[in-house]
Structures are given as structure tokens and as C-alpha cells.
């Protein structure tokens, strides 16, 4: 298995300490703080280990930034074990405080009313540049001391439909899309595939709300953080096959932005995402 895929599977493989109590490791994915997608994936994985059903919805709040140098403890509470639906609450703890909470619901696949909106038409992922090729084109904008960290490959193969230089952003409509999948194939473990989709769902979503303002995560005086995250699974999904994450933002107000996403695979709308993020532009002496 590809080394990056192996690392991702290890990251989302939790140690069971006792019933309903699990421990997860951390990796430097985006910097000094724990990547939100890591906590989403690990929390979903912890809850899934207490039931034999796939998840259909996750509603989460990020309460404190996580420390990448310390493990995270996941405490799972059983709220409901019904004939159709199973409900779990997950608390992520670090250094004696709750850094994240989620409500996760599980249900088996069943036949019923079936409708979906139309899939957007975008270029195929194979026709798009790799993320590393895009990074190479803007690496000269970076100071030498941060280039090594910036040029690291992600654990997910991502192909961007529309490309902008984050160092010279311009105001544009808040709509973007990218394809994504793991670098290598995965075993037929539905819980693992859903956890990796949850992990990947946090990439680029919040930045959609920055687009109409002509700023990016590289803007020096921007304070940005994920506040909450919702993920719905509509149909079975594989994280090792191309997924299209089509995203847009509807409003920015009170230093927050609301972003929506739809995930498509093989013509099927398999998942939907919603995230509100903090978007605070601070005045600086230089400005």
C-alpha cells in the first residue's frame, strides 16, 4: 500500500482502551493545530466501532484547537439503539478538556423514495493538474523556511477544477470544486471509507466563503477556524475512487461564513456537507 495511504489508515485506526473509550494519534496535517478533518474522521471511527451499521449523519462542533503533540481520547456515549436508528455522542478530550463534540446517527441502507439533483459537469480528474504540480507553480511566493512544509504531499490525491493563486487572490463568486481519493486502494471496510471521507470533507470547504472577499488562508491578517461541521451520507461511498466535492457559500456575516458541499461518485450524490467557519480580518500595523 502507498505510504501516504498507510499513514492515513493508521491515523484513523484507534486504540481501544476499554468499552466506549478510544485513543487516537495525531499528525501534522496543516500546522501546529490538529487538522479538523482528523478529529472528524477519528470521532466517526470511534462511534462506528460501537455499532454494525453505517453512519448517515454527523453533526459536530470544534470547541478548542487540538495539540498535535498529544493523543486524543474519544469517549462514546450510547444515546439510542433502535430497530432502525442508532445514535451516539462522541467527546474528544485532550489535556483534561473537551476539544470537540459530535452527534452521530447510524442506520442500515433501505429501499425507499429516490431522487437527486443534477450532477454538475466538470473536467475529469485525470485531465487536471496534480496538487504538487500546482504547488510547484507558486513555490517562489513562499519564504525558504516554509517551503519544505508547504511542499509535502497530502494523504489524499486532490485535483482542483478551478485554480487561483492563494498569494494573489481576487474577489470571485464563492463556488469551487475538486476531485479527491486515496492514493491506493482500501479494504472493503465501510466504516474506514466513511471516516476517510469525513477526514477529506474538511479540505477547502471553509475557504469557499473567503472567495468573494478576495482573501485566502495565506492572507497574513486573517484569523480563520472551523466552528462546526455537518456531514450526511446518502449512499454507500468508496474513498479510494474519485469523489467530486462541489462547494459554494451562501452568506458571510458577523465574521462567519456558511459553506455547503455535495459529493458525487459515479453519477450518484453520495454525501453532503455543511460548515460554518470563523473569518475574522484583523487590522495590523503594516496595513
Instruction: State the catalytic residues.
Output: 202, 226, 275
Residue pair 195/44 in contact by the 8 Å Cβ criterion:
yes
Q: How many residues does the chain have?
A: 287
Which grid coordinates belong to 212?
468573494
Residue pair 202/158 in contact by the 8 Å Cβ criterion:
no
User: Taken in order 207, 30, 38, 198, is the CA torsion positive or negative?
Assistant: positive
What are the strands of the beta sheet with 156-160, ordered from one edge? 15-18, 21-24, 72-81, 86-94, 97-106, 55-62, 222-233, 268-281, 256-265, 243-253, 175-182, 156-160
SS (H, E, C) 207-241: HHHHHHHCCCCCCCCEEEEEEEEEEEECCCCCCCC
201: Cβ–Cβ under 8 A, 6 or more apart, which residues? 37, 40, 229, 231, 245, 261, 263, 271, 273
Q: What whole-number distance in Å separates Cα of residue 212 and Cα of residue 158?
A: 23
Could you tell me whether strands 175-182 and 222-233 are parallel, antiparallel, or unpaired per DSSP bridges?
A: unpaired
Which residue from 198, 117, 209 is spatially nearest to 169, judged by alpha carbons?
209
Residue 232: other Cβ atoms inside 10 A: 18
Amino acid at each position: 500500500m502507498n505510504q501516504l495511504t498507510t499513514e492515513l489508515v493508521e491515523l484513523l485506526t484507534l486504540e481501544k482502551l476499554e468499552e466506549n473509550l478510544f485513543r487516537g494519534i495525531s499528525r501534522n496535517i496543516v500546522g501546529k493545530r490538529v487538522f479538523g478533518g482528523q478529529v472528524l474522521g477519528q470521532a466517526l471511527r470511534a462511534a462506528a466501532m460501537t455499532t454494525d451499521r453505517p453512519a448517515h449523519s454527523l453533526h459536530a462542533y470544534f470547541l478548542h484547537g487540538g495539540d498535535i503533540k498529544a493523543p486524543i481520547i474519544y469517549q462514546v456515549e450510547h444515546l439510542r439503539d433502535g430497530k432502525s436508528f442508532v445514535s451516539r455522542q462522541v467527546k474528544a478530550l485532550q489535556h483534561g478538556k473537551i476539544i470537540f463534540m459530535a452527534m452521530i446517527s447510524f442506520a442500515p441502507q433501505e429501499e425507499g423514495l429516490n431522487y437527486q439533483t443534477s450532477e454538475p459537469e466538470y473536467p475529469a480528474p485525470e485531465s487536471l493538474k496534480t496538487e504538487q504540480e500546482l504547488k510547484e507553480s507558486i513555490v517562489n511566493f513562499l519564504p525558504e523556511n516554509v517551503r519544505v512544509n508547504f511542499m509535502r504531499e497530502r494523504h489524499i490525491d486532490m485535483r482542483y477544477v478551478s485554480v487561483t493563486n492563494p498569494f494573489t487572490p481576487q474577489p470571485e463568486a464563492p463556488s469551487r470544486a475538486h476531485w479527491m481519493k486515496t492514493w491506493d486502494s482500501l479494504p472493503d471496510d465501510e466504516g474506514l471509507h466513511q471516516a476517510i471521507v469525513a477526514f477529506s470533507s474538511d479540505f477547502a470547504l471553509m475557504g469557499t466563503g473567503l472567495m468573494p472577499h478576495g482573501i485566502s488562508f495565506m492572507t497574513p491578517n486573517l484569523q480563520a477556524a472551523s466552528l462546526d461541521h455537518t456531514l450526511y451520507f446518502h449512499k454507500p461511498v468508496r474513498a479510494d475512487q474519485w469523489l467530486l466535492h462541489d462547494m459554494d457559500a451562501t452568506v458571510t456575516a458577523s465574521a462567519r461564513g456558511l459553506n455547503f458541499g455535495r459529493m458525487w461518485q459515479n453519477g450518484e450524490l453520495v454525501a453532503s456537507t455543511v460548515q460554518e467557519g470563523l473569518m475574522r480580518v484583523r487590522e495590523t500595523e503594516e496595513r
